[in-house]
Amino acid sequence: MRLHYYPETDSLYIDLAERPGAQVREVAPGVNLDLDSEGALVGIDIDHASHIVNLSSLETEALPVAPTSGSH
């Protein structure tokens, strides 16, 4: 999973899978789900993100994260 923030458009994209999106479903104003060709969720796009989510911090809880190369 990767988070991408685009300050020029104040949008946040949460990339959930390494598959291309084939369709978009708006679930709330400015919140779109990207689905693959089989209807599985691959990403979440949030327009005007700073008005919808708190972008000042990122916290995780009990994620099974493996260390990435270069981490200590």
Average pLDDT over residues 20-33: 95
Is the residue at 58 inside a domain? no
- Give the H or E element holding residue 52: helix 49-52
User: What's the pLDDT at 58?
Assistant: 83
Regarding pTM above 0.85, the answer is no
Domain with 8 in it: 2-52
Is the residue at 57 inside a domain? no
The pair of structure tokens assigned to 24 is 């978009």
- Mind listing the pLDDT tens digit for each residue in 38-53? 999 999 999 999 999 8
Is the residue at 65 inside a domain? no
Number of domains present in the structure of the chain: 1
Rounded Cα distance between 24 and 64, Å, is 29
pLDDT at 59 over 90: no
User: What's the pLDDT at 69?
Assistant: 65
User: What's the pLDDT at 70?
Assistant: 57
